[in-house]
């Protein structure tokens, strides 16, 4: 599997469309009890905000979010708090 291959696939094994992924993501959020109004990108921001405080090296965070240059360890800011 190439690192750029789709991670999420539908029941037939085809790459999942963005629209379908958004629907599935909202269902998962609702099932987790955090509501349906979260966006997928917010999980990335939460990860980048929380990981440095957990001792994850900045280079590993940059690699995990597929950023070519290491980022500042300062947390991402946005309209929401990290996912609980």
Report residues of the chain scoring pLDDT below 70.
1-6, 68-84
pLDDT, residue 77, reads 47
Strand, helix or coil for residue 35: coil
Residue 32 — φ and ψ, nearest 5°? Answer: -80, -10
Alpha helical stretches, state H, 1-84: 18-31, 40-50, 58-64
pLDDT in tens, 28-51: 999 999 888 888 888 888 888 899
Rounded to two decimals, what is the model's pTM? 0.55
From the list 28, 40, 35, 46, the residue with the least C-alpha distance to 83 is 46
| CB 71, CB 62: distance < 8 Å | yes
Q: Using the structure block, give the residue that is written with the tokens 């939460």.
A: 46
């Amino acid at each position: 599997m190439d690192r750029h291959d789709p991670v999420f696939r539908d029941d037939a094994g085809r790459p999942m469309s963005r629209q379908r992924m958004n629907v599935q993501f909202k269902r998962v959020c609702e099932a987790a009890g955090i509501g349906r109004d979260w966006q997928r990108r917010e999980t990335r921001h939460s990860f980048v905000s929380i990981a440095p405080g957990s001792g994850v090296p900045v280079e590993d965070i940059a690699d995990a979010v597929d950023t070519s240059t290491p980022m500042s360890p300062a947390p991402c800011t946005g309209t929401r708090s990290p996912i609980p």
